[in-house]
């Protein structure tokens, strides 16, 4: 009787192990990773309006930028081609859900709100939010908190983490959401807002281009950190594990450091 019971338990354990193995194999087969490999193309959603992360060159209809280099290398390491799919800040997650692209890369910030509906890779860059103001207003605000008062208008790009953060951090100032192709700093240049809330890396580029026009408020004490990641579909752990391992290995190899020097440090 004991021998029969032992045999039954062994058989049950073997069946459970086989079932788990079949489930794992099924998950791998159904993963976005396998679909991308079978398709031979990595589809990347990008906005093309956020230098130095993602910028569309209208002359030849090609993309360039930090994030463009990231996903181009990602595709190369997958052994597939890269296909860029135009998207907008307020439709990033919708495009993922609608299977318009496999991954999104455009200088996108990982936030708790976004994580409710999409997944993110491990972050590989941080670019905190600060206010960009006109040069004539330099010295008017000691910190971003001094801007939270009636009569102050703060431009943010609609659908971005800057919009989300500004609405959370400022209760008295007016938040003005700007929809592309219009840009937040253009509203500032036109004098229609008091400041544009954007990230420190973008601001560094803006200051280089508009040194006589812009200033920044207390860059050493930002409104909020901005961990930059790639956005993708929820619930696909096989694909996410591969992407996160790729990010980790590229960090170790110095890949992201070299991209920073190329796009951000100059």
Q: Give per-residue pLDDT as tens, 56-67.
A: 998 899 999 999
Q: Supply the pLDDT for residue 24.
A: 43
Q: Supply the pLDDT for residue 201.
A: 84
**In the structure encoding, which two tokens stand for residue 122, read together?**
């491990």
Q: Look at the alpha carbons of 145, 151, 155, 161 in this order and tell me if their dihedral is positive or negative.
A: positive
Q: How many CB atoms lie within 10 A of CB 64?
A: 15
The Cα–Cα gap between 224 and 116 comes to 19
Q: Supply the pLDDT for residue 38.
A: 98
pLDDT interval class at 27 (50, 70, 90): low
pLDDT at 161 over 70: yes
Please tell me the least confidently modeled range out of 6-15, 94-103, 216-225.
Answer: 6-15
pLDDT interval class at 21 (50, 70, 90): very low
pLDDT at 133 over 80: yes
The Cα–Cα gap between 84 and 47 comes to 10
Place of tokens 């026009």: 213
The Cα–Cα gap between 93 and 119 comes to 10
CATH superfamily entry for domain 31-126+227-263:
Periplasmic binding protein-like II (3.40.190.10)
Outline which parts of the chain fall under CATH 3.40.190.10. Answer: 31-126+227-263, 129-216
The answer to whether the CB of 157 falls within 8 A of the CB of 185 is no
pLDDT at 20 over 60: no
> Average pLDDT of 96-109?
96
| DSSP codes, 107-137 | EEEP-TTGGGT-EEPPP-EE--EEEEEEGGG
> Average pLDDT of 189-212?
88
| C-alpha separations of 199 from 79, 167, 224, 226 in Å | 33, 16, 9, 8
The Cα–Cα gap between 124 and 10 comes to 46
The Cα–Cα gap between 195 and 187 comes to 9
- 129-216 CATH, one of 3.40.190.10, 3.30.565.10, 3.40.50.300, 3.40.50.150: 3.40.190.10
The answer to whether the CB of 215 falls within 8 A of the CB of 134 is yes
**In the structure encoding, which two tokens stand for residue 217, read together?**
């408020």
| DSSP codes, 154-222 | EEEETTSHHHHHHHHH-SSSEEEEE-TTS-HHHHHHTTSSSEEEEEHHHHHHHHHHSTTTEEES-TTS-
- Kindly report the average pLDDT of the chain as a whole number: 89
């Amino acid at each position: 009787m004991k021998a029969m019971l032992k045999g039954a338990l062994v058989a049950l354990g073997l069946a459970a192990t086989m079932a788990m193995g079949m489930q794992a194999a099924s998950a791998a087969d159904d993963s976005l990773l396998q679909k991308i490999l079978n398709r031979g193309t990595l589809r990347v959603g990008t906005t093309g309006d956020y230098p130095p992360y993602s910028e569309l060159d209208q002359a030849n209809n090609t993309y360039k930028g930090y994030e463009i280099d990231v996903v181009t290398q990602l595709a190369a390491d997958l052994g597939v081609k890269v296909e860029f799919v135009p998207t907008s800040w307020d439709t990033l997650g919708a495009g993922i859900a609608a299977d318009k692209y496999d991954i999104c890369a455009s200088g996108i910030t990982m936030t708790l709100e976004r994580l409710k509906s999409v997944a993110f890779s491990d972050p590989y860059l941080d670019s905190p939010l600060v206010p960009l103001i006109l040069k004539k207003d330099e010295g008017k605000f000691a910190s971003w908190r001094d801007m939270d008062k009636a009569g102050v208008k703060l431009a943010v790009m609609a659908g971005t983490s800057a919009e989300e953060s500004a609405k959370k951090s400022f209760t008295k100032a007016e938040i003005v959401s700007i929809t592309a192709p219009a840009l937040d700093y253009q509203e500032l240049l036109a004098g229609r807002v008091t400041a544009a809330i954007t990230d420190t890396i973008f601001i560094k580029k803006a200051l280089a281009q508009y040194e006589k026009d812009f200033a920044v408020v207390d860059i050493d004490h930002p409104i909020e950190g901005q961990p930059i990641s790639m956005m993708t579909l929820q619930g696909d752990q096989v694909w996410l594990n591969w992407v996160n391992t790729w990010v980790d290995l590229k960090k170790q190899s110095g890949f992201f450091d070299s991209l920073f020097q190329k796009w951000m440090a100059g």
